[in-house]
Amino acid sequence: RRAAASVPLNVAEGLPSRGRNRGAHLQRALGSARECVACLDVAAALGYASDALVAEARARVDRCCAALWCLVHRPRS
């Protein structure tokens, strides 16, 4: 739960910022999103959720990770 909550909180804090502060928050958000992927893998392995539910949630988190990666790695203007 903490990793999932950390993603939007770090994005909200980082987007209005500039420079390294912005990058640091977005990098933390990406790390937390990747942690969510690991949590989903653990939930599937331990049988806490159905494979279909985990696959749907993982697809959403993967899209979130892709968007965050683009924000973190976009060229500076």
The total number of structural domains that make up the chain:
1
Low-confidence ranges of the chain (pLDDT < 70): 76-77
pLDDT score of 55: 95
pLDDT score of 69: 96
* CATH number of the domain enclosing 16: 1.20.1440.60
Contacts of 51 (CB under 8 A, 6+ apart): 44
Q: Which tokens sit at 19?
A: 């420079």
Give the global pTM.
0.86
Q: Which tokens sit at 44?
A: 């599937």
pLDDT score of 46: 96
What CA–CA distance (Å, rounded) separates 4 from 7? 6
- For 67, the domain range is 2-73
- Cβ–Cβ < 8 Å for 25, 17: yes
Q: Coil, strand, or helix at residue 47?
A: coil
